[in-house]
Structure 1
Amino acid sequence: MTHVGDELHHSGWNICSSCHDDASKSRNKLVLPCLVSDRVYIVDTSEARQPKLHKVIETKEIHEFDVGTLHTTHCLASGEIMISTLGDKHGNAKGDFVLIDSETFKVKGVWTRDKLAKFGYDFWYQPYHDVMISSEWGVPKRFKRGFIPEDTSNPDMYGRSLNIFSWKDHRLVQTIDLGEEGIAPLEIRFLHDPKEAQGYVGCAVNSNVFRFVWSSIRTRRRVTFVWREDETYRVELVLRAGFTSDILLSLDDKFLYMSNWFHGDIRQYDITDRRHPKLVGQLFLGGLILKGGAVKVLLDEELKPDEADAFVRVIKSTSER
């Protein structure tokens, strides 16, 4: 990239994969928003082995609409690129979304009408149900200083809600407070089936995953608690949880994968029964739970303490079950 300190975070494309049968569309531009500098890099991938920088959307173009701290990017059927923003141009908390033309890469404005979400982070939408849900991290100018454990207990510093929008109206219609069990709900995933009205969100601080379901945009939403890791460690409170940094659903919607940053493991859950996930696979890539390490596992119904190793190792697999 052309600058140092941008912090590229999540990436996306100029055109949705659903446009693959449209000869006039080409999914050949990689969109790279920057969490720190508020730039957006557009990379031409027409030649897969020789990508080249196509354009840089500079900070001032984003700040013109008083948004900043760019995160998740999705391409829309309207021919626009939509990027979630976590704050205003000064780093104060502000959950909104910026729109960019997918051909000219000109910044067009913001997506939300009227009331804004308190915080921003990830988002996903299901047009069939006229719904979009966004998640929350925290105050940008605070978390950019580094992780401060004490901030997580302050609801004015770290979010703990899901924000429900009407997709067609661009309006926030409901906010669901997940409580202390849902601090920092980060990655949000709908099932891939466009007619399914449910999905999951991973909450980083307490390593909880929630399942959300609903019937229509005008009815009362239900958020169903799915599972919580019940683990106790001989460490300070902030390290008791695995600190779930990401979740992902398989394309066939049969498995949910979650990465636990502190623990150092990646888990695979069978979610065929949406309300009762089952652990079917696990591997360790390092982290705190190591054989002979300083952290001792006192209670974990899903993990045998002596199985955690410092090397990549499959603990449980689908075939073994």
Structure 2
Amino acid sequence: MEMLKAMGLFFLIQSLTGKEGNMHADEMVSINHAFEIRWEKPGHSPQYGYDIWYQPRHNTMISTSWGAPRAFTKGFNLEHLSEGLYGRHLHIRFLHDPAKDTGFVWSALTTNMIRFFKNQDGSWSHEVSISVKPLKEQNWILPEMPGLITDFLISLDDRFLYFVNWLHGDIRQYNIEDVKNPKLTGQVWVGGLIQKGSPIVAVTDDGETWQAEVPEIQGKKLRAGPQMIQLSLDGKRLYATNSLFSTWDKQFYPDLVQQGSHIIQIDVDTEKGGLKINPNFFVDFGTEPHGPSLAHEMRYPGGDCTSDIWI
């Protein structure tokens, strides 16, 4: 890490896979302020690379993992889990305060948000901070459906944590001012497999069935579930797309590929907490000149909550 700081680091690129889409290549590309490119071999990369984040004041960088491209590019298959083709490492966000030694990671399939922190002896520990209970289902491929967290972020003032459940269809806001005790302060349903009108219904412990109320925006039905999110720098506007990966989209939300994806805006109460769908904002990628498109990631040109790291 000291070497990277001395280079005047501009950014890092995590390599995703090795030969034939099997194992991770154990390499990163570093590009400094002079646009000099060099390949790094950290020696501690996860088996399947994905995202990275670092906290310079703690001389620590944490890399993350997804899975073998030869597995996930073909869609989700439970057998790939038992075959070890999905990673068991971290997807992380440190708090933005560069002096803080705590952050959060998620486990997608178990739908857990995990807090990691530094001990007094310099070692690192973790604990489950938020757990989304899987829903019992009727008319689905499995008896229970995980929320499937696919993205999360922390507001620039480190007060709120946001994450999405791509399969369930909700966006959540938690107050993390007390990082050991997150409190749910906002939740909106913006799609998902269990929205009203879907053949899939959730079942309560008492045997009752229910489906989520999902409103239309400008007369348009919300498609698929929330997938990637981005927050304005003032924390008042949260944006969400809904395409994960085309083969997964076809598997879980086949209509999305035919109709195209969209971007929606969620208005945020930054005082007491709370989320509300903005009825006047809807970017429809189903009307593109060359046919429906799938929107995935978003970035602010001047920096944003998922990429800004301060020294």
Shift of 1:83: 0.5
SS at match of 1:152: helix
The corresponding residue for 1:207 is 111
Identical counterparts, % of pairs: 36
Shift of 1:85: 1.1
The corresponding residue for 1:197 is 101
SS at match of 1:122: strand
Kindly indicate whether the alpha-carbon contact (under 8 Å) linking 1:286 and 1:311 is maintained by their aligned counterparts in 2.
Answer: no
How far apart, in 2, do the equivalents of 1:221 and 1:101 lie? 29
How far apart, in 2, do the equivalents of 1:243 and 1:204 lie? 5
The corresponding residue for 1:13 is none
Kindly indicate whether the alpha-carbon contact (under 8 Å) linking 2:187 and 2:274 is maintained by their aligned counterparts in 1.
Answer: no
Kindly indicate whether the alpha-carbon contact (under 8 Å) linking 2:155 and 2:161 is maintained by their aligned counterparts in 1.
Answer: yes
**What are the ranges of 5 or more consecutive residues in structure 2 without an aligned counterpart?**
223-265, 276-311
The answer as to 2:145 corresponding to 1:240 is yes
The corresponding residue for 1:295 is 200
TM-score (norm 2): 0.60
The corresponding residue for 2:18 is 88
TM-score (norm 1): 0.59
Kindly indicate whether the alpha-carbon contact (under 8 Å) linking 1:100 and 1:109 is maintained by their aligned counterparts in 2.
Answer: no
Distance 1:189 1:320, change over 3 A: closer
The corresponding residue for 1:17 is none
The answer as to 2:125 corresponding to 1:222 is yes
Kindly indicate whether the alpha-carbon contact (under 8 Å) linking 1:239 and 1:262 is maintained by their aligned counterparts in 2.
Answer: no
Shift of 1:305: 4.5
Kindly indicate whether the alpha-carbon contact (under 8 Å) linking 1:247 and 1:259 is maintained by their aligned counterparts in 2.
Answer: yes
The corresponding residue for 1:119 is 48
Cα shift readout 1:125-157 (whole Å, capped 9, x = no counterpart): 111111111111111222222222331343x20
The corresponding residue for 1:131 is 60
Match of 1:285 among 190, 193, 199: 190
Distance 1:75 1:305, change over 3 A: farther
Distance 1:230 1:148, change over 3 A: same
Kindly indicate whether the alpha-carbon contact (under 8 Å) linking 1:233 and 1:295 is maintained by their aligned counterparts in 2.
Answer: no
How far apart, in 1, do the equivalents of 2:214 and 2:132 lie? 19
Structure with larger RCO (C-alpha < 8 A, sep 6+) = 2
**What are the ranges of 5 or more consecutive residues in structure 1 without an aligned counterpart?**
1-73, 163-185
Aligned residue identity for 2:131: R
How far apart, in 2, do the equivalents of 1:76 and 1:253 lie? 28
Kindly indicate whether the alpha-carbon contact (under 8 Å) linking 1:231 and 1:297 is maintained by their aligned counterparts in 2.
Answer: no
Distance 1:231 1:143, change over 3 A: closer
The corresponding residue for 2:31 is 100
Shift of 1:250: 0.5
Distance 1:196 1:223, change over 3 A: same
How far apart, in 2, do the equivalents of 1:299 and 1:223 lie? 31
How far apart, in 2, do the equivalents of 1:320 and 1:194 lie? 27
